[in-house]
Structure 1
Amino acid sequence: MRILLTCLLLLSSPALACGPDTDCPVGDRHYRIVMPADHDGITPVPALIWSHGYRGSAAGVMRNGSLRRMLSDAGFALIAMNGLNGSWNLPNGPRTMNSDGSAEFAYFDAVITDATARHHVDPDRIVAAGFSAGGMMVWNLACSHPESFAGFIPLSGTYWLHPPETCKTPVSSIVHIHGTQDKTVPLKGRPIGETKQGEVEEALSMYEKFGNFGPSNSFKTGPLTCRSRSNPTGEVLEYCLFEGGHSFRTEYLGHGLATLKEAGQL
């Protein structure tokens, strides 16, 4: 009887019941997750780990019906990360000048471990994406944790101050998307307090050299004007601009996923 009671308590615990409307605890942090609408409850699926913008939250991400529908239609689980007090603890930030980002990286590691163990997420097909401050988080993950993700899609965000001198291997595929008239995170950056937002071209140039990416191929697709480079091992480094400001549309993210799939990363 005691064993049966313990099993029932475990099955009814918040940790096991977590999802789009309930927090999934990992240590002193949490995340939220929603599986594709037609998921059979057994088959491992690819997942997109989404990092929200400044003052955002995992709960807020789950209220984005357009994002959820697009990823569900593509067969992806959506994992919504939750920054501390709506922000991310990143190197060279206005309030995190002395940070090395290790606390955030440990949080992402814990979420990936938890999600793959309990929610039928395929560990080999996880994409990191995020908007604004979340895009900054994604660039840092691309440099520090390339082995944990199939690819990266930072939107309207880059490193604080400047990119690192080099990154960890293996080289990854990155699709960066940004508005030409963005005044919140301008392409050339802007001073904030004792630091500044970095320049997008500097981040791309650093990664181009790091990953031995070749000549660029320019093309236009829908509202995006892009230039794409590949390297000898098949990764892609793509930079897409749209006419507009600091905004996010699910079709931009859809383009990033399509690029990663075409490159064989998913």
Structure 2
Amino acid sequence: MKAMHRLCATLVLLATAQTAAADCGDAPGPCEIDSGTYHVILPEGPPKGAIMFLHGYGGNGMGSLGRNGWAGKALARGYAVIGPDGDPMEGREGRSWSFHPNRPKVRDETAFLTAVRDDAAARFGLDADSMVLAGFSIGGSMTHYLACAAPEAFAAYMPVGGAFWRPHPDTCAGPVKLLHTHGWTDSTVPLEGRVIGGRDVNDPQAFVQGDVFYAMQLWRQANGCVQLAPDRFVTEGPFMRRAWDRCTPGSALEFALFPGGHRVPDGWIDMALDWREGL
């Protein structure tokens, strides 16, 4: 009789979880918390882990979770994928993230994204402590800024095609586990950055992208690495990678370049998850 009661209780819990997933996930709408919304796709069976991915400029959380792209490969490897929605952009469609230096902040993004982490963990049985944060373009920039301000918020960081903006941060809290990926021929977010919406870097109205190589220097400092030059190089395969190993115990820092432009490259998710699982 007790076994029957346990079975019934288990079935009720499973039904509740399936209803939550249907009402707060792929369809029909997003998950809601006080400070915003997010979307979730779940693998078959118990999740191996979870990736929170921040969309690019003008996008939204659901647009990042296409099953025919990298998100589908993450699902196949057993990972849940979470797509938070950025702030609605004034006067135009789409969303973005609020982090730019010397500009008013629309929302406390660190508080929002950590709240999404905790809410998704509670709703879907995910491990908040092992969740990783990734993002593309301006979502990659947001990933860098959150890692800089609150490195302990996520287990690792995997930004693509976006880093700090000028004026660069002077320092970051640390250490972190971070893998930055960037296209060698990216002209939207060049490795050296560019000026947007102004005449030059001294125009107070301009938004000025930062230098990715400076970002990596900042992370070497935050991680307490003993030298500027990388300790390891990987020159085979689709990514040219450099890694710094002689750093604070428990930290990890790698930089991956690929021969392409402003995009999440083919093979990124497998490379990134292999890196994450190997830490």
Tell me, yes or no, if structure 1 residue 260 matches structure 2 residue 276.
yes
Q: Which position in structure 2 is the counterpart of 1:234?
A: 250
Q: Distance in 1 between matches of 2:265 and 2:85?
A: 20
Opposite residue 116 of structure 2, the aligned amino acid is V
Mapping for residues 106-117 of structure 1, pairs under 5 Å: 106-117=111-122
Mapping for residues 138-217 of structure 1, pairs under 5 Å: 138-169=143-174, 171-193=175-197, 194-214=206-226, 215-216=229-230, 217=232
Q: 1:156 to 1:59 in 2, by over 3 A?
A: same
After the TM superposition, list the runs of 4 or more consecutive aligned residues in structure 1 that deviate by more than 6 angstroms. 11-16
Tell me, yes or no, if structure 1 residue 47 matches structure 2 residue 20.
no
Tell me, yes or no, if structure 1 residue 33 matches structure 2 residue 40.
yes
Q: Which position in structure 2 is the counterpart of 1:87?
A: 96
Q: 1:23 to 1:108 in 2, by over 3 A?
A: same
Q: Distance in 2 between matches of 1:33 and 1:15?
A: 8
Identity across aligned pairs (percent)?
A: 32
Q: Which position in structure 1 is the counterpart of 2:6?
A: none
Say which is worse superposed, 193-202 or 206-215, in terms of deviation: 206-215
Shift of 1:250: 4.7
Q: 1:123 to 1:87 in 2, by over 3 A?
A: same
Q: Which position in structure 1 is the counterpart of 2:203?
A: none
| Residue in structure 2 matching 1:223, options 238, 243, 253 | 238
Tell me, yes or no, if structure 1 residue 23 matches structure 2 residue 37.
no
Q: 1:14 to 1:45 in 2, by over 3 A?
A: closer
TM-score w.r.t. length of structure 1: 0.85
Opposite residue 65 of structure 1, the aligned amino acid is N
Aligned to 1:112, what secondary structure does the other structure show? helix
Q: Which position in structure 2 is the counterpart of 1:7?
A: none
Q: Which position in structure 2 is the counterpart of 1:118?
A: 123
Q: Distance in 1 between matches of 2:119 and 2:209?
A: 32
Shift of 1:222: 1.7
Aligned residues: 245
Q: 1:247 to 1:50 in 2, by over 3 A?
A: same
Deviations 1:98-117 (A, max 9, x none): 24686111110210111111
Does the 8 A contact of 1:70 with 1:250 survive in 2?
Answer: no
Q: Distance in 2 between matches of 1:135 and 1:152?
A: 9
Q: Distance in 2 between matches of 1:184 and 1:69?
A: 26
Aligned to 1:228, what secondary structure does the other structure show? strand
Q: 1:16 to 1:157 in 2, by over 3 A?
A: same
Question: Unpaired runs of 5+ in structure 1?
Answer: 1-10
Q: Distance in 2 between matches of 1:56 and 1:155?
A: 15
Q: 1:15 to 1:222 in 2, by over 3 A?
A: closer
Q: 1:18 to 1:250 in 2, by over 3 A?
A: farther
Instruction: Name which one, 1 or 2, has greater alpha-carbon Rg.
Output: 2
Q: Which position in structure 2 is the counterpart of 1:129?
A: 134
After superposition, the CA RMSD in angstroms is 2.2
Q: Distance in 2 between matches of 1:237 and 1:18?
A: 35
Q: Which position in structure 1 is the counterpart of 2:264?
A: 248
Question: Unpaired runs of 5+ in structure 2?
Answer: 1-15, 89-94, 198-205
Q: 1:243 to 1:130 in 2, by over 3 A?
A: same
Shift of 1:232: 3.7
Q: Which position in structure 1 is the counterpart of 2:81?
A: 78
Q: Distance in 2 between matches of 1:155 and 1:183?
A: 14
Deviations 1:156-204 (A, max 9, x none): 00011143112223x1111011011100000000011223000000111
Shift of 1:147: 1.0
Does the 8 A contact of 2:21 with 2:124 survive in 1?
Answer: no
Opposite residue 229 of structure 1, the aligned amino acid is W
